Amino acid sequence: MKVERNFFSAKAIGYLIITVSALIMVMPFVTALFNSLKTYAEFTAVPPRWIPELFQWSNYAEVFKLGNFLDYTANSFLVTFLSVLGALLSCSMVGFAFARLKFPLKNILFVMVLGTMMIPPVVIIIPHFMIFKQMNLLDTLTPLWLLECLAQPFGIFLMRQAFMSIPKEYEESAKLDGCNPFQTYWRIFMPMVRPSLATVAIFTFMTKWNEILAPSIYLTSNEKFTLPIGILSLSGQWFGNEQYMVAAALMSLIPILIVFLFAERYFVSNFTNSGIK
């Protein structure tokens, strides 16, 4: 009886911690939502008023009138789509090579790839800037997605682990059916690692959609700005209407939520299987 009582006590404490953690995580989003629906007087009121007296849904429509919001969104979609596509192809191909192919110095090269994860992006952005300058690619969207097509270390690691978990019998059966390594990778193994592919896609999408550092360095023309840097650039234009900026920031989150909800079951499945292994 005492053991059962302790079990329920531990369960109650667990639920309490989860509930408090969830509230802490949700509160900034709820606060931003209410701020986006205020008038400017309510937005700047002292002491702050948490819930607006009358929800100003028209604030979201005003965002489209004050800036190039649609152009920024289109640029972000283009960069993010090409980045996700490049990351899926490059990371899966390199991961398959490290997991299934035999070549000299394979383990040393893989350790070197993992080692690049410890290099902060700000350290290598100047060399990248010089390279893209020599290629006349500055002030274009190309530098923002091209690097993702060269494979990223986290994605390579994730895909290598996924390919290594597939039994060797599948590879041997493919060889008996006459498949070469590329056909084995594309036709046999790729459909079996969809949860890991979804995870790479979600992480790449979130990273590129919210990226600020690279666009602020490579881009100078306003019409080529992506959504995060475009919203920031309009901060002066929205002086006296800062609630519109909050509304724009919230709208920029919608694509991420849609992608996550669409790929959630693959995302959770991948991490559940990783935990079991």
Q: Are 231 and 245 in contact (CB under 8 A)?
A: yes
For residue 223, the 8-state DSSP code is G
Mean pLDDT of 239-260: 83
* Domain 67-239, architecture per CATH: Orthogonal Bundle (1.10)
Q: Are 211 and 144 in contact (CB under 8 A)?
A: yes
Flag whether pLDDT at 272 surpasses 80: no
For residue 116, the 8-state DSSP code is G
Which tens digits make up the pLDDT trace of 33-70? 998 888 888 888 888 888 888 888 888 888 887 668 88
Q: Are 228 and 215 in contact (CB under 8 A)?
A: yes
The domain limits of the chain are 1-59, 67-239
Return mean pLDDT, the chain: 85
Non-local (6+) Cβ contacts of 111 within 8 A are: none
- Closest to 91 in 3D by CA, of 148, 155, 147, 154: 155
Flag whether pLDDT at 276 surpasses 50: no
Return the number of other C-beta atoms located less than 10 Å from residue 90's C-beta. Answer: 20
Q: Is the full-model pTM beyond 0.85?
A: no
Which tens digits make up the pLDDT trace of 135-176? 998 989 999 998 888 878 889 999 999 999 888 888 888 888
Which tens digits make up the pLDDT trace of 62-115? 888 766 888 898 999 999 999 999 999 999 999 999 999 988 988 899 999 888
User: How many Å apart are CA 178 and CA 174, to the nearest integer?
Assistant: 6
